[in-house]
Homo-oligomer: A and B are copies of this chain.
Amino acid sequence: MGKKVVIIGGVALGPKVACRVKRLDPTAEVVVVDRDQHISYGGCGIPYYVGGDVADIEGLQSTSAHVLRDSRFFAGAKGVEMRVRTEALEIDRERRVVHLRSLESGDTSELAYDELVLATGAKPIVPPLPGVELPGVSVVANLNHAEKIKTAISKGQVGSAVVIGGGAIGIEMAEALTDLWGVSTTLVEMQPQLLPAAIGPDVARVMAVHLREKEVDLRLDTTVTKILGDPEQGVTGVETSGGEIPCDLVILSVGVRPNSQLAQAAGLAVGPTGGIQVDERLRTSDPRIYAGGDCVEMTHLISGEPTHLPLGSIANRHGRVIGTNLAGGTATFPGVVANFCIKIFDLGLFTAGLTEAQALAAGFDPVSTVAAQADRAHFYPSQDMMVMKLIACRKTGRVLGVEAFGPDGDAVKARVDSIAVLLPHEPTVADISNLEVAYSPPYASAMDIVNSAANALENTLSGRHEPIDVATFLELFDTEDAKVLDVRSAVQAGPFVAKYGDRWQNIPQEELACRIEEVEAADKPLYLICGSGPRSYEAQLLLRQKGIANTRNIMGGVKMLKSTDPDFLPEA
Protein backbone atom coordinates (compact mmCIF):
# COMPACT_ATOMS: atom_id res chain seq x y z
CA MET A 1 0.00 0.00 0.00
CA GLY A 2 0.99 3.62 -0.50
CA LYS A 3 1.37 6.30 2.09
CA LYS A 4 -1.50 7.19 4.37
CA VAL A 5 -2.58 10.81 4.01
CA VAL A 6 -5.15 12.17 6.43
CA ILE A 7 -6.71 15.57 5.77
CA ILE A 8 -8.71 17.38 8.44
CA GLY A 9 -11.23 19.66 6.75
CA GLY A 10 -13.26 19.07 3.60
CA VAL A 11 -14.36 22.46 2.25
CA ALA A 12 -11.85 24.05 -0.16
CA LEU A 13 -8.24 23.14 0.65
CA GLY A 14 -8.91 19.56 1.81
CA PRO A 15 -10.58 18.23 -1.34
CA LYS A 16 -8.03 20.03 -3.52
CA VAL A 17 -5.12 18.40 -1.68
CA ALA A 18 -6.83 15.02 -1.80
CA CYS A 19 -7.45 15.11 -5.54
CA ARG A 20 -4.00 16.43 -6.39
CA VAL A 21 -2.12 13.86 -4.33
CA LYS A 22 -4.24 11.03 -5.76
CA ARG A 23 -3.54 12.22 -9.30
CA LEU A 24 0.21 12.30 -8.69
CA ASP A 25 0.38 9.20 -6.51
CA PRO A 26 -2.55 6.85 -7.15
CA THR A 27 -1.22 4.44 -4.49
CA ALA A 28 -1.76 6.96 -1.68
CA GLU A 29 -4.59 6.19 0.74
CA VAL A 30 -6.32 9.49 1.28
CA VAL A 31 -8.97 10.13 3.94
CA VAL A 32 -10.65 13.50 4.44
CA VAL A 33 -12.44 14.13 7.74
CA ASP A 34 -15.07 16.85 8.23
CA ARG A 35 -17.59 17.68 10.93
CA ASP A 36 -20.23 18.74 8.46
CA GLN A 37 -22.24 16.68 6.01
CA HIS A 38 -21.69 19.40 3.40
CA ILE A 39 -18.23 19.15 1.88
CA SER A 40 -16.30 20.63 -1.01
CA TYR A 41 -18.36 23.74 -1.56
CA GLY A 42 -17.69 27.29 -2.64
CA GLY A 43 -17.98 29.09 0.69
CA CYS A 44 -17.37 32.43 -1.00
CA GLY A 45 -20.61 31.85 -2.91
CA ILE A 46 -22.76 31.97 0.23
CA PRO A 47 -23.79 35.63 -0.11
CA TYR A 48 -24.80 34.95 -3.73
CA TYR A 49 -26.86 31.96 -2.63
CA VAL A 50 -28.59 34.01 0.07
CA GLY A 51 -29.12 36.88 -2.38
CA GLY A 52 -30.60 34.54 -4.99
CA ASP A 53 -27.93 34.79 -7.70
CA VAL A 54 -27.25 31.12 -6.98
CA ALA A 55 -30.64 29.45 -6.92
CA ASP A 56 -29.93 26.11 -5.23
CA ILE A 57 -27.47 25.17 -2.55
CA GLU A 58 -26.34 22.31 -4.81
CA GLY A 59 -24.96 24.97 -7.13
CA LEU A 60 -22.25 25.69 -4.57
CA GLN A 61 -21.48 21.99 -4.13
CA SER A 62 -21.19 20.99 -7.77
CA THR A 63 -18.30 20.85 -10.18
CA SER A 64 -18.27 23.19 -13.16
CA ALA A 65 -19.70 20.21 -15.06
CA HIS A 66 -22.69 20.13 -12.65
CA VAL A 67 -21.69 16.95 -10.85
CA LEU A 68 -22.46 17.02 -7.10
CA ARG A 69 -19.26 16.74 -5.07
CA ASP A 70 -20.50 14.45 -2.32
CA SER A 71 -18.82 11.49 -0.62
CA ARG A 72 -19.88 9.12 -3.36
CA PHE A 73 -18.37 11.38 -6.02
CA PHE A 74 -15.05 11.55 -4.18
CA ALA A 75 -14.97 7.79 -3.70
CA GLY A 76 -15.92 6.98 -7.30
CA ALA A 77 -14.27 9.68 -9.37
CA LYS A 78 -11.33 10.56 -7.15
CA GLY A 79 -10.53 7.48 -5.07
CA VAL A 80 -10.73 9.61 -1.93
CA GLU A 81 -12.53 8.55 1.23
CA MET A 82 -14.67 11.28 2.79
CA ARG A 83 -15.62 10.82 6.45
CA VAL A 84 -18.31 13.39 7.01
CA ARG A 85 -19.97 14.21 10.33
CA THR A 86 -16.70 13.26 11.96
CA GLU A 87 -14.76 15.43 14.36
CA ALA A 88 -11.00 15.39 14.79
CA LEU A 89 -10.47 15.57 18.55
CA GLU A 90 -6.72 15.41 18.90
CA ILE A 91 -3.50 14.78 17.02
CA ASP A 92 -1.04 12.35 18.59
CA ARG A 93 2.16 13.32 16.76
CA GLU A 94 4.24 10.66 18.57
CA ARG A 95 2.08 7.79 17.40
CA ARG A 96 0.99 9.61 14.21
CA VAL A 97 -2.71 9.09 14.77
CA VAL A 98 -5.70 11.40 14.81
CA HIS A 99 -8.42 10.76 17.39
CA LEU A 100 -11.82 10.98 15.79
CA ARG A 101 -15.41 11.04 17.01
CA SER A 102 -18.43 10.31 14.87
CA LEU A 103 -21.05 13.02 15.29
CA GLU A 104 -23.69 10.47 14.30
CA SER A 105 -22.89 7.62 16.68
CA GLY A 106 -20.64 9.36 19.19
CA ASP A 107 -18.10 6.55 18.70
CA THR A 108 -14.46 7.48 18.89
CA SER A 109 -11.68 5.94 16.84
CA GLU A 110 -8.10 6.41 15.75
CA LEU A 111 -6.87 7.11 12.25
CA ALA A 112 -3.19 6.58 11.50
CA TYR A 113 -1.30 8.85 9.09
CA ASP A 114 2.06 9.01 7.43
CA GLU A 115 1.40 12.62 6.57
CA LEU A 116 -1.30 14.89 7.88
CA VAL A 117 -2.87 18.00 6.37
CA LEU A 118 -4.65 20.63 8.43
CA ALA A 119 -7.38 22.23 6.36
CA THR A 120 -9.41 23.42 9.31
CA GLY A 121 -10.27 26.82 7.85
CA ALA A 122 -11.38 29.83 9.81
CA LYS A 123 -14.26 30.37 12.16
CA PRO A 124 -16.43 33.42 12.48
CA ILE A 125 -15.85 35.60 15.51
CA VAL A 126 -18.96 35.73 17.68
CA PRO A 127 -18.85 38.98 19.63
CA PRO A 128 -19.65 38.58 23.35
CA LEU A 129 -22.87 40.55 23.17
CA PRO A 130 -25.93 40.01 25.34
CA GLY A 131 -28.58 38.34 23.18
CA VAL A 132 -26.15 36.82 20.73
CA GLU A 133 -27.75 33.40 21.23
CA LEU A 134 -31.27 34.56 20.32
CA PRO A 135 -33.14 32.94 17.42
CA GLY A 136 -32.70 35.11 14.34
CA VAL A 137 -29.06 35.91 15.10
CA SER A 138 -26.60 34.13 12.82
CA VAL A 139 -23.07 34.09 11.58
CA VAL A 140 -22.54 33.22 7.87
CA ALA A 141 -19.79 30.66 7.80
CA ASN A 142 -21.20 27.53 6.24
CA LEU A 143 -24.03 26.19 4.13
CA ASN A 144 -26.16 25.42 7.19
CA HIS A 145 -26.18 29.09 8.21
CA ALA A 146 -26.83 30.10 4.63
CA GLU A 147 -29.79 27.75 4.29
CA LYS A 148 -31.34 28.89 7.55
CA ILE A 149 -31.09 32.57 6.63
CA LYS A 150 -32.39 32.09 3.10
CA THR A 151 -35.31 30.01 4.30
CA ALA A 152 -36.35 32.65 6.83
CA ILE A 153 -36.18 35.40 4.20
CA SER A 154 -37.95 33.48 1.50
CA LYS A 155 -40.80 32.68 3.88
CA GLY A 156 -41.29 36.42 4.31
CA GLN A 157 -40.22 36.35 7.95
CA VAL A 158 -37.63 39.09 7.51
CA GLY A 159 -38.73 42.67 6.96
CA SER A 160 -35.60 44.29 8.32
CA ALA A 161 -32.11 43.15 9.16
CA VAL A 162 -29.02 44.42 10.90
CA VAL A 163 -25.63 43.29 9.64
CA ILE A 164 -22.92 43.77 12.25
CA GLY A 165 -19.47 44.32 10.70
CA GLY A 166 -18.56 46.18 7.50
CA GLY A 167 -15.96 43.79 6.13
CA ALA A 168 -16.33 41.91 2.85
CA ILE A 169 -18.90 39.39 4.09
CA GLY A 170 -20.93 42.05 5.88
CA ILE A 171 -21.08 44.20 2.74
CA GLU A 172 -21.93 41.24 0.50
CA MET A 173 -24.69 40.14 2.90
CA ALA A 174 -26.10 43.67 3.09
CA GLU A 175 -26.25 43.73 -0.71
CA ALA A 176 -27.80 40.26 -0.85
CA LEU A 177 -30.55 41.23 1.60
CA THR A 178 -31.31 44.63 0.05
CA ASP A 179 -30.93 43.95 -3.62
CA LEU A 180 -33.02 40.88 -4.25
CA TRP A 181 -35.20 40.56 -1.18
CA GLY A 182 -35.85 44.21 -0.49
CA VAL A 183 -35.11 43.65 3.17
CA SER A 184 -34.60 46.99 4.89
CA THR A 185 -31.00 46.56 5.97
CA THR A 186 -28.74 48.44 8.37
CA LEU A 187 -25.00 47.81 8.22
CA VAL A 188 -23.25 48.68 11.48
CA GLU A 189 -19.48 49.16 11.57
CA MET A 190 -17.47 50.03 14.67
CA GLN A 191 -14.66 51.70 12.68
CA PRO A 192 -15.09 55.09 11.02
CA GLN A 193 -14.69 53.45 7.59
CA LEU A 194 -15.53 50.26 5.69
CA LEU A 195 -12.87 47.65 4.88
CA PRO A 196 -9.96 49.26 6.75
CA ALA A 197 -7.73 46.25 6.05
CA ALA A 198 -8.08 46.76 2.29
CA ILE A 199 -8.60 50.44 1.47
CA GLY A 200 -7.90 53.93 2.72
CA PRO A 201 -10.57 56.27 4.12
CA ASP A 202 -10.98 58.17 0.83
CA VAL A 203 -11.89 55.12 -1.24
CA ALA A 204 -13.95 53.76 1.68
CA ARG A 205 -15.97 56.96 1.66
CA VAL A 206 -16.91 56.39 -1.99
CA MET A 207 -18.05 52.86 -1.12
CA ALA A 208 -20.11 54.24 1.78
CA VAL A 209 -21.80 56.76 -0.52
CA HIS A 210 -22.60 53.97 -2.96
CA LEU A 211 -24.06 51.67 -0.28
CA ARG A 212 -26.29 54.50 0.92
CA GLU A 213 -27.40 55.27 -2.66
CA LYS A 214 -28.46 51.63 -2.80
CA GLU A 215 -30.51 52.11 0.37
CA VAL A 216 -28.29 50.28 2.79
CA ASP A 217 -28.57 52.22 6.05
CA LEU A 218 -24.85 52.39 6.85
CA ARG A 219 -23.85 53.37 10.40
CA LEU A 220 -20.13 53.92 10.73
CA ASP A 221 -18.36 54.62 14.02
CA THR A 222 -21.16 52.76 15.72
CA THR A 223 -20.83 50.02 18.34
CA VAL A 224 -23.48 47.41 19.00
CA THR A 225 -23.95 46.98 22.74
CA LYS A 226 -26.79 44.47 22.94
CA ILE A 227 -29.03 42.31 20.82
CA LEU A 228 -32.68 42.68 21.82
CA GLY A 229 -35.48 40.10 21.85
CA ASP A 230 -36.49 37.00 23.72
CA PRO A 231 -36.03 33.27 23.24
CA GLU A 232 -39.64 32.82 22.16
CA GLN A 233 -40.11 35.66 19.71
CA GLY A 234 -36.47 35.80 18.64
CA VAL A 235 -34.52 38.93 17.87
CA THR A 236 -36.40 42.24 17.75
CA GLY A 237 -33.58 44.73 17.37
CA VAL A 238 -30.10 45.84 18.36
CA GLU A 239 -28.98 48.47 20.77
CA THR A 240 -26.07 50.58 19.51
CA SER A 241 -24.00 53.57 20.56
CA GLY A 242 -26.19 55.49 18.13
CA GLY A 243 -29.58 54.27 19.34
CA GLU A 244 -31.81 51.27 18.92
CA ILE A 245 -32.43 49.63 15.53
CA PRO A 246 -35.46 47.30 15.29
CA CYS A 247 -35.02 44.22 13.10
CA ASP A 248 -36.06 40.59 12.51
CA LEU A 249 -32.63 39.25 11.62
CA VAL A 250 -29.09 39.92 12.80
CA ILE A 251 -26.09 38.81 10.77
CA LEU A 252 -22.80 38.68 12.64
CA SER A 253 -19.89 39.39 10.31
CA VAL A 254 -17.27 40.95 12.53
CA GLY A 255 -14.46 38.84 11.12
CA VAL A 256 -12.96 35.38 11.18
CA ARG A 257 -10.15 33.76 13.09
CA PRO A 258 -7.94 30.88 11.91
CA ASN A 259 -9.13 27.53 13.28
CA SER A 260 -5.83 26.58 14.85
CA GLN A 261 -6.73 25.06 18.24
CA LEU A 262 -6.18 21.49 17.09
CA ALA A 263 -2.73 22.48 15.81
CA GLN A 264 -1.94 24.44 18.95
CA ALA A 265 -3.06 21.60 21.22
CA ALA A 266 -0.71 19.32 19.31
CA GLY A 267 2.15 21.70 20.00
CA LEU A 268 2.50 23.10 16.46
CA ALA A 269 3.71 26.66 16.09
CA VAL A 270 0.97 29.25 15.80
CA GLY A 271 1.82 32.84 14.87
CA PRO A 272 0.75 36.29 16.01
CA THR A 273 -2.32 36.36 13.74
CA GLY A 274 -3.57 33.14 15.32
CA GLY A 275 -2.77 31.27 12.12
CA ILE A 276 -0.70 28.10 11.97
CA GLN A 277 2.87 28.92 10.94
CA VAL A 278 4.07 27.24 7.76
CA ASP A 279 7.21 27.41 5.66
CA GLU A 280 7.35 28.04 1.91
CA ARG A 281 6.47 24.40 1.25
CA LEU A 282 3.45 24.83 3.56
CA ARG A 283 4.86 22.50 6.23
CA THR A 284 4.05 23.27 9.85
CA SER A 285 6.69 23.06 12.57
CA ASP A 286 6.21 19.25 12.31
CA PRO A 287 7.52 18.24 8.87
CA ARG A 288 4.95 15.42 8.66
CA ILE A 289 2.11 17.90 8.99
CA TYR A 290 1.12 20.39 6.30
CA ALA A 291 -1.38 23.22 6.62
CA GLY A 292 -2.89 25.74 4.23
CA GLY A 293 -5.89 27.88 3.40
CA ASP A 294 -7.80 29.87 5.99
CA CYS A 295 -6.11 28.26 9.03
CA VAL A 296 -2.55 29.44 8.30
CA GLU A 297 -0.72 32.72 8.28
CA MET A 298 1.45 33.75 5.35
CA THR A 299 4.20 36.27 4.72
CA HIS A 300 3.06 39.57 3.30
CA LEU A 301 5.57 40.11 0.51
CA ILE A 302 5.70 43.88 0.94
CA SER A 303 5.58 44.42 4.69
CA GLY A 304 7.34 41.15 5.47
CA GLU A 305 4.85 40.67 8.31
CA PRO A 306 2.74 37.57 8.91
CA THR A 307 -0.77 38.02 7.56
CA HIS A 308 -4.05 36.09 7.56
CA LEU A 309 -5.86 36.21 4.23
CA PRO A 310 -8.80 33.80 4.09
CA LEU A 311 -9.67 33.48 0.39
CA GLY A 312 -10.92 30.50 -1.60
CA SER A 313 -8.41 31.26 -4.34
CA ILE A 314 -5.47 30.97 -1.97
CA ALA A 315 -6.87 27.77 -0.45
CA ASN A 316 -7.04 26.26 -3.92
CA ARG A 317 -3.47 27.23 -4.79
CA HIS A 318 -2.26 26.03 -1.39
CA GLY A 319 -4.04 22.76 -2.05
CA ARG A 320 -2.09 22.15 -5.20
CA VAL A 321 1.23 23.00 -3.55
CA ILE A 322 0.56 20.65 -0.62
CA GLY A 323 -0.68 17.88 -2.92
CA THR A 324 2.49 18.15 -4.99
CA ASN A 325 4.71 18.06 -1.91
CA LEU A 326 2.87 15.09 -0.41
CA ALA A 327 3.59 13.22 -3.62
CA GLY A 328 7.31 13.94 -3.34
CA GLY A 329 7.46 17.21 -5.26
CA THR A 330 8.98 20.49 -4.19
CA ALA A 331 6.34 23.14 -4.79
CA THR A 332 6.46 26.40 -2.86
CA PHE A 333 4.15 29.26 -1.95
CA PRO A 334 6.25 32.31 -1.11
CA GLY A 335 3.53 34.58 0.28
CA VAL A 336 0.95 37.15 -0.73
CA VAL A 337 0.52 40.80 -1.59
CA ALA A 338 -3.12 40.67 -0.42
CA ASN A 339 -4.86 41.00 -3.78
CA PHE A 340 -8.49 41.53 -2.79
CA CYS A 341 -11.71 42.37 -4.60
CA ILE A 342 -15.40 42.73 -3.96
CA LYS A 343 -18.48 43.65 -5.95
CA ILE A 344 -20.49 46.28 -4.08
CA PHE A 345 -23.76 46.69 -5.97
CA ASP A 346 -22.77 48.51 -9.19
CA LEU A 347 -19.09 48.97 -8.35
CA GLY A 348 -16.16 46.59 -8.53
CA LEU A 349 -13.50 47.38 -5.93
CA PHE A 350 -10.00 45.93 -6.37
CA THR A 351 -6.97 46.42 -4.15
CA ALA A 352 -3.51 44.95 -3.62
CA GLY A 353 -0.51 45.64 -1.46
CA LEU A 354 -0.53 48.00 1.49
CA THR A 355 -2.92 50.83 2.32
CA GLU A 356 -1.25 54.10 3.32
CA ALA A 357 -1.86 53.32 7.00
CA GLN A 358 -0.36 49.84 6.61
CA ALA A 359 2.60 51.25 4.69
CA LEU A 360 3.26 53.74 7.47
CA ALA A 361 3.05 50.98 10.06
CA ALA A 362 5.50 48.89 8.03
CA GLY A 363 8.07 51.68 8.13
CA PHE A 364 7.56 53.18 4.67
CA ASP A 365 6.95 56.85 3.93
CA PRO A 366 3.83 56.55 1.78
CA VAL A 367 2.60 59.07 -0.73
CA SER A 368 -0.37 58.52 -3.03
CA THR A 369 -2.18 59.83 -6.02
CA VAL A 370 -5.72 59.42 -7.33
CA ALA A 371 -6.46 59.25 -11.05
CA ALA A 372 -9.85 59.05 -12.74
CA GLN A 373 -10.11 57.89 -16.32
CA ALA A 374 -12.33 56.03 -18.80
CA ASP A 375 -11.74 52.32 -19.31
CA ARG A 376 -11.60 52.64 -23.14
CA ALA A 377 -10.40 55.23 -25.63
CA HIS A 378 -12.26 58.49 -24.98
CA PHE A 379 -13.61 58.46 -28.52
CA TYR A 380 -15.02 54.94 -28.19
CA PRO A 381 -18.80 55.14 -27.84
CA SER A 382 -19.37 53.20 -24.60
CA GLN A 383 -17.15 53.54 -21.59
CA ASP A 384 -17.12 53.60 -17.82
CA MET A 385 -15.01 55.64 -15.43
CA MET A 386 -12.38 54.03 -13.29
CA VAL A 387 -10.71 55.62 -10.30
CA MET A 388 -7.27 54.42 -9.19
CA LYS A 389 -5.27 55.29 -6.11
CA LEU A 390 -1.60 54.40 -6.35
CA ILE A 391 0.63 54.37 -3.28
CA ALA A 392 4.43 54.54 -3.30
CA CYS A 393 7.28 55.13 -0.90
CA ARG A 394 8.46 58.72 -1.07
CA LYS A 395 12.08 57.77 -0.38
CA THR A 396 12.53 55.03 -2.96
CA GLY A 397 9.66 55.46 -5.43
CA ARG A 398 8.75 51.82 -4.82
CA VAL A 399 5.09 51.07 -5.48
CA LEU A 400 3.44 49.73 -2.32
CA GLY A 401 -0.23 49.44 -3.09
CA VAL A 402 -3.13 50.13 -5.40
CA GLU A 403 -6.86 50.64 -4.84
CA ALA A 404 -9.27 51.05 -7.74
CA PHE A 405 -12.96 50.92 -8.50
CA GLY A 406 -15.44 51.38 -11.30
CA PRO A 407 -18.70 50.05 -12.71
CA ASP A 408 -16.98 47.59 -15.05
CA GLY A 409 -15.28 45.32 -12.56
CA ASP A 410 -13.50 43.25 -15.21
CA ALA A 411 -11.86 46.36 -16.61
CA VAL A 412 -10.76 47.44 -13.12
CA LYS A 413 -9.49 43.90 -12.43
CA ALA A 414 -7.27 44.13 -15.50
CA ARG A 415 -5.61 47.28 -14.14
CA VAL A 416 -5.17 46.18 -10.53
CA ASP A 417 -4.05 42.63 -11.32
CA SER A 418 -1.38 43.94 -13.68
CA ILE A 419 0.09 45.99 -10.82
CA ALA A 420 -0.58 43.37 -8.12
CA VAL A 421 1.39 40.59 -9.80
CA LEU A 422 4.41 42.91 -10.08
CA LEU A 423 4.44 44.00 -6.44
CA PRO A 424 6.71 41.13 -5.29
CA HIS A 425 9.24 42.36 -7.87
CA GLU A 426 9.39 45.76 -6.13
CA PRO A 427 8.39 47.92 -9.10
CA THR A 428 9.08 51.65 -9.01
CA VAL A 429 6.64 54.31 -10.09
CA ALA A 430 8.64 54.65 -13.33
CA ASP A 431 8.09 50.94 -14.05
CA ILE A 432 4.32 51.45 -13.82
CA SER A 433 4.55 54.58 -16.00
CA ASN A 434 5.96 52.32 -18.70
CA LEU A 435 3.83 49.27 -17.89
CA GLU A 436 3.08 47.44 -21.12
CA VAL A 437 -0.63 46.72 -20.84
CA ALA A 438 -2.78 45.77 -23.82
CA TYR A 439 -4.11 48.61 -25.93
CA SER A 440 -6.85 48.82 -28.48
CA PRO A 441 -9.58 51.50 -28.43
CA PRO A 442 -12.39 49.09 -27.38
CA TYR A 443 -10.42 48.03 -24.29
CA ALA A 444 -8.16 50.85 -23.12
CA SER A 445 -6.87 54.36 -23.60
CA ALA A 446 -3.56 54.83 -25.38
CA MET A 447 -2.31 56.16 -22.05
CA ASP A 448 -4.01 53.72 -19.73
CA ILE A 449 -4.99 54.62 -16.17
CA VAL A 450 -2.14 52.47 -14.78
CA ASN A 451 0.33 54.59 -16.73
CA SER A 452 -1.32 57.92 -16.02
CA ALA A 453 -1.74 57.21 -12.30
CA ALA A 454 1.97 56.43 -12.13
CA ASN A 455 2.76 59.54 -14.17
CA ALA A 456 0.79 61.67 -11.72
CA LEU A 457 2.55 60.03 -8.79
CA GLU A 458 5.94 60.60 -10.39
CA ASN A 459 5.03 64.26 -10.82
CA THR A 460 4.15 64.39 -7.12
CA LEU A 461 7.35 62.61 -6.05
CA SER A 462 9.44 65.00 -8.09
CA GLY A 463 7.72 67.97 -6.43
CA ARG A 464 6.08 69.30 -9.58
CA HIS A 465 2.60 68.24 -8.61
CA GLU A 466 1.12 69.56 -5.37
CA PRO A 467 -2.05 67.58 -4.91
CA ILE A 468 -4.80 67.44 -2.33
CA ASP A 469 -7.22 64.58 -1.88
CA VAL A 470 -10.91 65.25 -2.24
CA ALA A 471 -11.79 64.44 1.39
CA THR A 472 -9.26 66.93 2.75
CA PHE A 473 -10.36 69.53 0.23
CA LEU A 474 -13.99 69.13 1.28
CA GLU A 475 -13.03 69.69 4.89
CA LEU A 476 -10.93 72.75 4.10
CA PHE A 477 -13.54 74.19 1.78
CA ASP A 478 -15.86 74.35 4.79
CA THR A 479 -13.40 75.56 7.39
CA GLU A 480 -11.02 77.74 5.40
CA ASP A 481 -13.36 79.77 3.23
CA ALA A 482 -11.21 78.36 0.45
CA LYS A 483 -11.35 79.39 -3.20
CA VAL A 484 -11.45 77.15 -6.23
CA LEU A 485 -10.25 77.72 -9.77
CA ASP A 486 -12.21 75.46 -12.13
CA VAL A 487 -10.41 75.04 -15.48
CA ARG A 488 -13.19 73.12 -17.24
CA SER A 489 -15.40 74.69 -19.90
CA ALA A 490 -17.87 77.43 -18.98
CA VAL A 491 -20.75 75.01 -19.57
CA GLN A 492 -19.38 72.49 -17.10
CA ALA A 493 -18.24 74.98 -14.49
CA GLY A 494 -21.28 77.27 -14.73
CA PRO A 495 -23.54 75.47 -12.23
CA PHE A 496 -20.68 75.38 -9.69
CA VAL A 497 -20.09 79.11 -10.07
CA ALA A 498 -23.83 79.65 -9.65
CA LYS A 499 -23.86 77.55 -6.45
CA TYR A 500 -20.66 78.78 -4.83
CA GLY A 501 -20.42 82.35 -6.19
CA ASP A 502 -17.14 84.19 -5.55
CA ARG A 503 -15.53 81.08 -4.14
CA TRP A 504 -15.66 79.26 -7.48
CA GLN A 505 -13.85 80.94 -10.39
CA ASN A 506 -13.91 79.53 -13.91
CA ILE A 507 -11.17 79.95 -16.50
CA PRO A 508 -10.97 77.12 -19.05
CA GLN A 509 -7.49 75.61 -19.16
CA GLU A 510 -6.92 76.50 -22.82
CA GLU A 511 -7.58 80.20 -22.00
CA LEU A 512 -5.61 80.32 -18.77
CA ALA A 513 -2.33 81.51 -20.30
CA CYS A 514 -4.06 84.58 -21.77
CA ARG A 515 -6.26 85.28 -18.75
CA ILE A 516 -3.70 84.68 -16.04
CA GLU A 517 -4.14 88.19 -14.60
CA GLU A 518 -7.69 87.29 -13.61
CA VAL A 519 -6.32 84.84 -11.03
CA GLU A 520 -5.73 86.52 -7.69
CA ALA A 521 -2.78 85.40 -5.64
CA ALA A 522 -3.67 84.99 -1.98
CA ASP A 523 -2.16 83.79 1.27
CA LYS A 524 -4.44 80.79 1.36
CA PRO A 525 -3.94 78.01 -1.15
CA LEU A 526 -5.99 78.16 -4.32
CA TYR A 527 -7.67 74.84 -5.10
CA LEU A 528 -7.55 73.79 -8.75
CA ILE A 529 -10.08 71.45 -10.29
CA CYS A 530 -11.01 69.95 -13.64
CA GLY A 531 -12.93 66.83 -14.69
CA SER A 532 -10.43 64.32 -13.39
CA GLY A 533 -7.11 66.05 -12.65
CA PRO A 534 -4.74 66.40 -15.63
CA ARG A 535 -5.86 69.82 -16.84
CA SER A 536 -5.80 71.32 -13.36
CA TYR A 537 -2.29 69.86 -12.99
CA GLU A 538 -1.29 71.78 -16.11
CA ALA A 539 -2.93 74.86 -14.65
CA GLN A 540 -0.87 74.38 -11.50
CA LEU A 541 2.36 74.37 -13.52
CA LEU A 542 1.33 77.44 -15.49
CA LEU A 543 0.30 79.35 -12.36
CA ARG A 544 3.57 78.52 -10.62
CA GLN A 545 5.47 79.76 -13.66
CA LYS A 546 3.54 83.02 -13.40
CA GLY A 547 4.35 83.40 -9.71
CA ILE A 548 1.21 81.88 -8.18
CA ALA A 549 2.75 78.98 -6.33
CA ASN A 550 0.34 78.41 -3.45
CA THR A 551 -2.07 76.06 -5.17
CA ARG A 552 -3.32 72.50 -4.67
CA ASN A 553 -4.63 70.23 -7.40
CA ILE A 554 -7.73 68.27 -6.41
CA MET A 555 -6.94 64.65 -7.33
CA GLY A 556 -9.59 62.88 -9.36
CA GLY A 557 -11.33 66.22 -9.97
CA VAL A 558 -15.07 66.57 -10.21
CA LYS A 559 -15.40 62.83 -10.84
CA MET A 560 -13.93 61.96 -7.46
CA LEU A 561 -15.82 64.83 -5.83
CA LYS A 562 -19.10 63.44 -7.11
CA SER A 563 -18.30 59.92 -5.90
CA THR A 564 -17.23 61.23 -2.49
CA ASP A 565 -19.95 63.78 -1.75
CA PRO A 566 -22.73 63.99 -4.34
CA ASP A 567 -24.42 66.73 -2.29
CA PHE A 568 -21.48 69.05 -2.85
CA LEU A 569 -22.36 69.22 -6.54
CA PRO A 570 -24.96 71.60 -7.92
CA GLU A 571 -28.26 69.92 -8.72
CA ALA A 572 -28.27 68.50 -12.21
Interface residues of A (CB under 8 A from B): 12, 23-24, 26, 42, 44-45, 48, 53-54, 59-60, 62-67, 73, 76-77, 79, 311-317, 320-321, 331-334, 336-337, 339-343, 348, 350, 352, 373-375, 377-381, 408-411, 413-414, 416-418, 420-422, 425, 430, 433-444, 446-448, 451, 455, 464, 488-489, 509-514, 530-532, 535, 538, 541-542, 545
Copy number in the complex reads 2
Besides A333-B434, A341-B440, A410-B413, 14 more A-B contacts (Cβ < 8 Å) are A48-B441, A54-B380, A65-B489, A65-B530, A73-B510, A311-B439, A312-B439, A313-B437, A314-B436, A331-B430, A334-B434, A341-B443, A408-B410, A422-B425
- Asked if B441 and A42 sit within 8 Å, CB to CB, the answer is yes
- Asked if B417 and A316 sit within 8 Å, CB to CB, the answer is no
A133 to chain B, nearest CB (A): 31
- Within the assembled complex, what's the spacing in Å between the Cα atoms of A348 and B439? 12
Chain B residues with Cβ below 8 Å from A511 are 76
**What are 17 inter-chain pairs, A to B, with CB distance below 8 A?**
A23-B538, A48-B442, A62-B378, A65-B489, A76-B511, A76-B514, A77-B512, A79-B513, A312-B439, A313-B448, A331-B430, A339-B436, A339-B438, A341-B440, A416-B438, A421-B422, A421-B435
Chain B residues with Cβ below 8 Å from A341 are 438-440, 443
Q: Name the residue on B nearest A74 (C-beta).
A: B510
- Asked if B436 and A336 sit within 8 Å, CB to CB, the answer is yes
A563 to chain B, nearest CB (A): 18
Option from B48, B62, B377, B414 in Cβ contact (under 8 Å) with A410: B414
Chain B residues with Cβ below 8 Å from A44 are 377, 439-441, 446
A535 to chain B, nearest CB (A): 7
Option from B76, B352, B417, B440 in Cβ contact (under 8 Å) with A414: B417
Q: Name the residue on B nearest A491 (C-beta).
A: B66
- Asked if A535 and B65 sit within 8 Å, CB to CB, the answer is yes
- Asked if A45 and B377 sit within 8 Å, CB to CB, the answer is yes
- Asked if A317 and B54 sit within 8 Å, CB to CB, the answer is no
Option from B23, B336, B379, B532 in Cβ contact (under 8 Å) with A45: B379
- Within the assembled complex, what's the spacing in Å between the Cα atoms of A422 and B439? 17
- Asked if A317 and B380 sit within 8 Å, CB to CB, the answer is no
- Within the assembled complex, what's the spacing in Å between the Cα atoms of A530 and B67? 13
- Asked if A48 and B380 sit within 8 Å, CB to CB, the answer is yes
Chain B residues with Cβ below 8 Å from A438 are 339-341, 350, 352, 413, 416-417, 420
A558 to chain B, nearest CB (A): 11
Chain B residues with Cβ below 8 Å from A48 are 379-380, 441-442
Sort A-B residue pairs by CB-CB distance and give the 8 closest, nearest first. Answer: A313-B439, A77-B510, A410-B410, A64-B378, A414-B414, A341-B438, A312-B446, A343-B442
- Within the assembled complex, what's the spacing in Å between the Cα atoms of A482 and B77? 26
- Within the assembled complex, what's the spacing in Å between the Cα atoms of A45 and B182? 44
Q: Name the residue on B nearest A425 (C-beta).
A: B425
Chain B residues with Cβ below 8 Å from A375 are 410
Knowing A44-B441, A437-B417, A541-B26, the reply to whether A446 touches B316 (Cβ < 8 A) is yes
- Within the assembled complex, what's the spacing in Å between the Cα atoms of A421 and B454? 15
A112 to chain B, nearest CB (A): 24
- Asked if A379 and B59 sit within 8 Å, CB to CB, the answer is yes
- Asked if A379 and B413 sit within 8 Å, CB to CB, the answer is no
- Within the assembled complex, what's the spacing in Å between the Cα atoms of A45 and B379? 8
Q: Name the residue on B nearest A69 (C-beta).
A: B510
